[in-house]
Structure 1
Amino acid sequence: MKIYHNNRCSKSRCGLEILNNSKQDFEVVDYIKNPLSEVDIKDILKKLGFSPIQLVRKNEAIWKENYKGKDLSDSQIIKAMSAHPKLIERPIVVKGDKAVIGRPSENICALLK
């Protein structure tokens, strides 16, 4: 199991706490310090069952200033998330071939069952 984590985010810290309390083994991936490749993002999207735009934090300044209102392909959105990891919703917890966004945190609890 993995959690894609941003320590500056309270929701992400909450997700990490849930995993710590679960007593299950997991890996913490700081995707801000170690940005995800386009292949990694595509794999996560597949596990989430999301289109790329569903994984974007649309209120981030980077999005508003550089991408909002543009007609972007899925590939361009994935490239943007890889180049600017702050654009990726968080936290993401992956278990096997399934993944959830930990907003709300109940999503993580459901994945752990």
Structure 2
Amino acid sequence: MLRIYHNARCKKSREGLEILKNSGKEFETREYLKDTLDEKELTELIDKLKITPIQLVRKNEKVWKEEYKHKDLSDRELVSVMVKNPKLIERPVVETDKNAVIGRPPSEIEKLL
């Protein structure tokens, strides 16, 4: 099953959602700012993405710049920061049972289809 971690206020996320709708494949949408991920879910998603936690952080967000940018955080601490501040999670992310991609650019999503 395909799942998109979606923020309706984000243009790239809306474009990613449109790609999934046009694919004709079944998928579910998780608005991760409302239905937040816990540490286990986020860690599993990062593993599927085959990246480090810092690669999933939106570094231009105000909260990152003001509170975390100059701190030396471990991977575990970064996951905790993203769980507490889901706005920091890059979007959109689309996952299958085995893999995931960050939809930036949105055409990256097609790799899972």
| TM-score, normalised by the number of residues in structure 2 | 0.97
Structure 2, unaligned stretches of length 5 or more? none
* Aligned match of 2:35: 34
* Aligned match of 1:92: 93
CA distance in 1, matches of 2:81, 2:111: 30
* Aligned match of 1:43: 44
CA distance in 2, matches of 1:90, 1:16: 11
Query: CA RMSD for the aligned pairs?
Result: 0.6
Offset at 1:68? 0.4
CA distance in 2, matches of 1:11, 1:106: 10
CA distance in 2, matches of 1:103, 1:96: 20
Q: Secondary structure at the match of 1:100?
A: strand
| TM-score, normalised by the number of residues in structure 1 | 0.97
CA distance in 1, matches of 2:37, 2:94: 14
Identity %: 54
CA distance in 2, matches of 1:84, 1:96: 25
Structure 1, unaligned stretches of length 5 or more? none
